[in-house]
Structure 1
Amino acid sequence: MSLSMRRVLGSRALRPPLVRTLVSMPKLIPEAVPTGSTQIFRTVEEVKRWRRPQYTCHRVIGLVPTMGALHEGHLSLISAAVKECDHVVVSMYVNPAQFGPHEDLDSYPANWDSDLEILAALEKKLAKKISAVFAPTTKEMYPFGFPGQEVDSKGSFVIITPLSERLEGKSRPTFFRGVATVCMKLLNIVQPDKVFFGQKDIQQSLVIQRMVDDLMVPTKVIVCPTVREPDGLARSSRNVYLGTRRRKVAKVLHDALASAKQQYLNGRADRSSILGSANGLLESTQATQVSLPAEERVRFEVDYVSFADRFTMDEVEEVDPSRGAIVSAAIKMLPVELATPGEDVGYNGGPAVRLIDNMILEPSG
């Protein structure tokens, strides 16, 4: 089964007064998603207490890790988990350890009530329950104190090298350390049989797979296809930052990768042809935007365009017909230079937005 299809790599009813009541009670009574049967767990002990009986019943448990701000991409993962598992746990936790000191942690989009309503609607649509939401605090996830976001922070970390040092890891040196650490915590807490990730974050999925393999974690990593907007832009919680003007230009990321993949489908498997096509489209789009007046143009920076082995993320010169490859890229959409009166510049004033995407070049042999 191909990786692009799916590869096993190996609300309003919940208001602060209710939360305060739950926190003050010595024995927590689980909340429930409005109109649904999903339980909400705030503590590790609650999850473990719920999990114990599942062992004796031989139930298959699935975990979908999220940071909230749910969108169609998350829902596709939850739907896949519901189909394959007896019980599904959705974690919603904005993990500070995977943000750099100057990244968008404080402004990361979050809407607890909306997320709960989305889950309730999905549960109704699927006609099958989502068993639990795990929504811990940072104090719960880091009981001895959050170690910090700096590269030289001291604490208990899971570090997967050299895979986590490439591409995204090179640009965001603490990102995969934070991801691997929180995912190991979640795997230890929930102890799922399967954990579900999206292909958009392919390097993240590979890091987690390597961690699971190297540390012998008895969980199967499932990677599901990227969910896209009609114009091809990958669904992401950060897309709300873009606003109307930048949103129209952001599709260049998808278009560049699609152009590279088309070179491969046309029979070109060499690095020059594949990356040349992607870089050419990115550069021409930048040139077009620079020529526009400030009140119309969109500025963006290209972080990287990569042509790599699909298992190791090592850069390659040509596609290995037995392994295939990954073409991936990251761009930073810079803030609107000169907004027009009443212009939608994006959520939280439209800060810089980092976008990533990838496409799989399937094996041909």
Structure 2
Amino acid sequence: MPPDLPPSSIPLLTTAAAFREWREIARREQKTVGYVPTMGALHEGHLSLVRRSLAENDLTVLSIFVNPAQFAPHEDLATYPRTLEHDIVALAPVSFSSFNHTNGTVHPGPIIRQPSAIFLPNAKEIYPSGITQDVSAQKGTFVEVKGYSHQMEGKSRPTFFRGVATVVTKLFNVIQPTRAYFGQKDIQQALLLKRLAQDLLMSYPLPENVCIVPTARDETDGLALSSRNAYLSLDGRKVASTLYQALSAARLAWEEGATKAECLAKAYEVVETRMKEAQENQLDVDMSLDFIEFNDADTFEVVPDNTTMKDLDVVLLSGALFVGKTRLIDNLVLGDDTKIIG
């Protein structure tokens, strides 16, 4: 282990070569491998993905890599939280246990699974040709999912999904997971990566094994858990659930048969009310809505204003809200969410 890495009970692998050696042993032992890609600053949302993987696979690995290619030049790459020691401590006690069943026989003692390895590459390992946040100056091989990257989040962050698709393709090539796990909070990203696995004819993982896990939320106000929540001030945290409340109001109207336009009006009303309340309570925080929109779950195209729940089986309702300088995102799947989540 390199001397600059903190102590860890979980093996830390820093190069593709080292990880491939680990993966070859798992292959020889015919063990399934679950994979949770992260940028670190782990929270309960990440840990819920780890628990799901532990329950469904013999071995579970995580990667921690803050990917420069998905940050635009004006975004927060330099200040993105890097908390490796905390992450290792958070992961160490996470486990799954079940009784061992073989050919219908229950053997004494449970199977106990814990995270098996953490892949910790540096930027040179992932981008051998080098990497810059300026897309026009980038050299080397990049991956783009055409026609699915400019809507929703992509409208506000036009180079984001190019960076995500590229790094995840590279990580899938190294990890070769049986299953990979992504959170619903980043619904467009998760669905785009499922399509990527399909379009590139990937075997590791197969498209159906790109698993989308429900969003982990704060139990008090429903705020979607995110590493960027750490940026929020005390006053900012008091209003951070505004987006979730707005989406929830739109969902209720949708389920009552309202049109998309009527649902959006309900959502905007919530945001405006919360903004006024923040001013009246003299909270030291600014809020500004980036977007709230209804999109087709397959094409990501914007749903027409007169659409109702009778017209579509499943719809993505998503949004982004600035609380101070922190951009929070969230989404709800309307209709038959089993077609996406699970």
The equivalent of 1:20 in structure 2 is 3
Q: Equivalent residues in 2 for 1:43-82 (5 A)?
A: 43-82=15-54
SS in 2 for 1:239: helix
The alignment's C-alpha RMSD in Å is 2.2
The equivalent of 1:152 in structure 2 is 136
- Name whichever of 221-230 and 164-173 sits farther off: 164-173
Number of aligned residue pairs? 316
* TM-score of the aligned structures, taking structure 2 as reference length: 0.87
In the alignment, is the contact (CA less than 8 A) between 1:164 and 1:177 conserved in 2? yes
Stretches of structure 1 lacking an aligned partner (at least 5 in a row):
1-17, 23-30, 335-351
Which residue of 164, 174, 188 corresponds with 1:179? 164
CA spacing shift, 1:80–1:52, aligned 2, 3 Å: same
Q: Equivalent residues in 2 for 1:150-229 (5 A)?
A: 150-155=134-139, 156-218=141-203, 219=205, 220-229=209-218
Partners of 1:132 and 1:281 lie apart in 2 by 44
Matched, 1:282 2:271: yes
In the alignment, is the contact (CA less than 8 A) between 1:328 and 1:359 conserved in 2? yes
In the alignment, is the contact (CA less than 8 A) between 1:32 and 1:40 conserved in 2? no
CA spacing shift, 1:72–1:222, aligned 2, 3 Å: same
1:357 partner letter: D
Partners of 2:253 and 2:169 lie apart in 1 by 38
SS in 2 for 1:19: coil
Matched, 1:299 2:272: no
CA spacing shift, 1:134–1:259, aligned 2, 3 Å: same
The equivalent of 1:360 in structure 2 is 333
Which residue of 251, 254, 257 corresponds with 1:261? 251
SS in 1 for 2:289: strand
Partners of 2:317 and 2:113 lie apart in 1 by 37
Q: Equivalent residues in 2 for 1:42-121 (5 A)?
A: 42-121=14-93
Partners of 2:4 and 2:273 lie apart in 1 by 57
2:237 partner letter: R
Partners of 1:360 and 1:221 lie apart in 2 by 17
* TM-score of the aligned structures, taking structure 1 as reference length: 0.82
Partners of 1:229 and 1:314 lie apart in 2 by 30
Partners of 1:111 and 1:363 lie apart in 2 by 37
Partners of 1:108 and 1:21 lie apart in 2 by 20
Partners of 1:51 and 1:19 lie apart in 2 by 20
> By how many angstroms is 1:112 displaced?
1.1
Q: Equivalent residues in 2 for 1:323-342 (5 A)?
A: 323-334=313-324
> By how many angstroms is 1:125 displaced?
8.4
Percent of pairs identical after alignment?
A: 40
Which residue of 83, 103, 123 corresponds with 1:138? 123
In the alignment, is the contact (CA less than 8 A) between 1:322 and 1:363 conserved in 2? no
Stretches of structure 2 lacking an aligned partner (at least 5 in a row):
99-111, 338-342
The equivalent of 1:310 in structure 2 is 297
> By how many angstroms is 1:173 displaced?
1.5
Which residue of 269, 272, 276 corresponds with 2:261? 272
The equivalent of 1:5 in structure 2 is none
Partners of 1:54 and 1:44 lie apart in 2 by 15
> By how many angstroms is 1:324 displaced?
1.2
In the alignment, is the contact (CA less than 8 A) between 1:92 and 1:135 conserved in 2? yes
Partners of 1:320 and 1:100 lie apart in 2 by 39
